[in-house]
Amino acid sequence: MHAVRFANPPLVMAGHLHMPASLQPGVRYPAIVCVHPSGGVKEQTAGLYAARLAEAGFIALAFDASYQGESGGEPRQLENPYARVEDISAAVDYLTTLEWVDSGRIGVMGICAGGGYAAHAAMMDTRIQAIGTVSAVNYGQMYRQGWENSAKPQECLALRDLAMAARTAEANGEAIQYLPTTPERPEDAPHPDLAEAFDYYRTDRARHGNAPSKLPTRSLAQLVTYDAFSKVELFLTQPLLVIAGSDAGTRWMSEALHQRAASQEKELLIVEGGTHIGMYDLPHLVEAAMDKLAPFYKTHL
């Protein structure tokens, strides 16, 4: 694994480039961009999957999103969905410059919100030849409809007002306002998946100093009005593999992506006993995902 930097003007992005154990001189390899969840960093689940893909013979790039981790941008931790999508194309740009990469065989793999952003990126960026997702979340839809698709539609409108009040306060000299992205105590979690998110992001299981589990309140306006899956029936044409846990509250979003995508070659894998967060790092669940992901990319890249 090599620490790398690449351009995403006007920002500089930080990534980890995971390489197969032995590179043969003169050989160009297929490459995969690995996209982390909202609030995550490259050292967590995206890096775990990137390392496993490198073991399977791919060059894999896990990177920190704009405004997050070691990548540039202010305010810190901003979750701008449009920037997140552009990050993916910037990562593809970078891979095409590497002498070991076959620029005609580049794929993308996204986890959680990263899966939704990967789908959106693939609709625009036809250099992406195949897309895989694990625990995919359409992050805007989650803010509108809730983790389990149970929220009343009008409830989300208040989030825009909250975001704009924060922007006004900040424009008038107040400090940037932040909200937690995961529960601060497990007993505060409204769903078992979110209690497991506390365990993943806020304990030694996967806690990282560059992933503080918060976002600027202003992000809410961009997120609640965003739809990662808009027009997938027309534009998402690449081969698609969608993976979700059977017990994940977000399973419905993965199923919707699979059902709606225009891809002629698409597959849905439901991993028995898998939870949304469990698919991030629990060895038997990651193994089940990799048993499908590696052959999928070998076929299509």
pTM of the complete model: 0.97
Mean pLDDT for all residues in the chain: 97
By the 10 Å C-beta count (0-12 exposed, 13-18 middle, 19+ buried), 233 is classed as exposed
CA nearest neighbour of 292 among 137, 117, 130: 130
The pLDDT value recorded for residue 294 is 98
By the 10 Å C-beta count (0-12 exposed, 13-18 middle, 19+ buried), 157 is classed as exposed
- Could you tell me how far CA 250 lies from the centroid of its own chain? 14
d(CA 158, CA 143): 11
The pLDDT value recorded for residue 158 is 96
Question: Is the pLDDT confidence value at 171 over 90?
Answer: yes
Q: What is the DSSP letter of 65?
A: P
Question: Is the pLDDT confidence value at 23 over 90?
Answer: no
Q: What angle do CA 43, 120, 1 make, to 5 degrees?
A: 25
Mean pLDDT confidence for 151-169 = 95
Mean pLDDT confidence for 268-275 = 98
Residue 223 phi, psi dihedral angles, 5° rounding: -70, -45
Structure tokens at 51: 């390392």
The pLDDT value recorded for residue 153 is 84
- Tens of pLDDT, residues 60-105: 999 999 999 999 999 999 999 999 999 999 999 999 999 999 999 9
d(CA 52, CA 168): 45
Mean pLDDT confidence for 220-228 = 98
Neighbours of 208 (CB within 10 A): 14
d(CA 31, CA 28): 9
CB 4 within 8 A of CB 17: yes
- Ordered by where they begin, the domains of the chain are 2-149+224-300 (3.40.50.1820)
3-state secondary structure of 222: helix
Tell me the torsion sign for CA atoms 76, 81, 86, 92: positive
Mean pLDDT confidence for 170-174 = 98
Q: Mean pLDDT check: name the lowest of 20-29, 45-54, 115-124, 274-283.
A: 20-29
Q: What is the DSSP letter of 155?
A: G
H helices of the chain, in order, are 45-55, 81-96, 113-124, 139-145, 157-171, 192-202, 219-224, 232-235, 251-260, 278-281, 283-300
The pLDDT value recorded for residue 22 is 85
- Tens of pLDDT, residues 233-251: 999 999 999 999 999 999 9
% of the chain surpassing 70 pLDDT: 100
Q: What is the DSSP letter of 104?
A: E
Q: What is the DSSP letter of 246?
A: T
Q: Residue 172 — left, alpha, or beta (φ > 0 → left; ψ -120 to 50 → alpha)?
A: alpha
Tell me the torsion sign for CA atoms 117, 121, 123, 127: negative
Question: Is the pLDDT confidence value at 25 over 90?
Answer: no
The pLDDT value recorded for residue 1 is 96
